[in-house]
């Protein structure tokens, strides 16, 4: 029967994957996608919105593992250790639920409760947040295109500089 179980696990599509982890059960899933609009007052109290941006996606789920599903005592404890390891690595992971696929996610919260009834299972609340990855670059403009090249131009190496004493200059202490 074990060979049949292994074959079934290879061909069935898991409903939830969190990185490389596949929980035995998904009890609840709540996804949050939020769009923020910027509001600015104009004239006599009227507010206008001239821009909007999307916050990172967040998922909160209650998931579980059972020692009986894993086939040995300690299976749920291993799953918990793997969840904690995912969090401590701080590496971006992919999360797939029955509804949607998420990229660049981090497990930002893991809450687990154990009592005498749940000693051989792991039921935990997991909160994941998407990390928006951006790329930046720097460019340079010709000095002729700059408004004030002396202030905004690139630096130029002019060699080492030495200070010289001045003559005929009165310090503030001497002027008093």
**What is the domain partition of the chain in residue ranges?**
15-39+51-130
SS3 143: helix
Both tokens of 77, joined, read 């404890």
* CA–CA gap between residue 118 and residue 21 (Å, rounded): 20
Q: Please check the confidence at residue 96 and state whether its pLDDT lies above 60.
A: yes
pLDDT of residue 85: 96
- What residues does 36 pair with on adjacent strands? 53
- Answer for the pair 112, 122: CB distance below 8 angstroms, yes or no: yes
pLDDT in tens, 105-147: 999 999 998 888 888 899 999 999 999 988 888 887 776 667 7
pLDDT confidence bin for 1, thresholds 50/70/90: very low
Of the two residues 154 and 20, the one the predictor is more confident about is 20
Q: Please check the confidence at residue 86 and state whether its pLDDT lies above 90.
A: yes
pLDDT confidence bin for 157, thresholds 50/70/90: confident
13-17, 66-70, 135-139, 157-161: least confidently modelled range = 13-17
- Answer for the pair 131, 104: CB distance below 8 angstroms, yes or no: yes
Top-tier CATH class for 15-39+51-130:
mainly beta
Residue 104 CA: distances (Å) to CA of 55, 96, 127, 136: 14, 11, 14, 18
């Amino acid at each position: 029967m074990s060979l049949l179980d292994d074959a079934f696990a290879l061909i069935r599509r898991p409903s939830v994957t969190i990185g490389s982890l596949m929980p035995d059960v998904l009890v609840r899933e709540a996804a949050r996608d939020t769009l923020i609009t910027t509001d600015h007052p104009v004239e006599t109290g009227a507010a206008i919105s001239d821009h909007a941006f999307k916050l990172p996606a967040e998922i909160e789920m209650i998931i579980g593992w059972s020692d009986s599903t894993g086939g040995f005592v300690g299976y749920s404890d291993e799953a918990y250790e793997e969840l904690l390891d995912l969090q401590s690595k701080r590496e971006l992971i992919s999360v797939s639920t029955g509804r949607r696929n998420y990229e660049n996610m981090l497990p930002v919260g893991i809450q687990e409760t154990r009592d005498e009834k749940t000693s051989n299972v792991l039921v935990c609340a997991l909160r994941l947040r998407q990390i928006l990855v951006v790329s930046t670059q720097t460019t340079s403009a010709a000095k002729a295109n700059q408004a004030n090249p002396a202030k905004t131009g690139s630096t130029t190496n002019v060699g080492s500089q030495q200070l010289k004493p001045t003559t005929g200059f009165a310090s503030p202490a001497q002027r008093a």
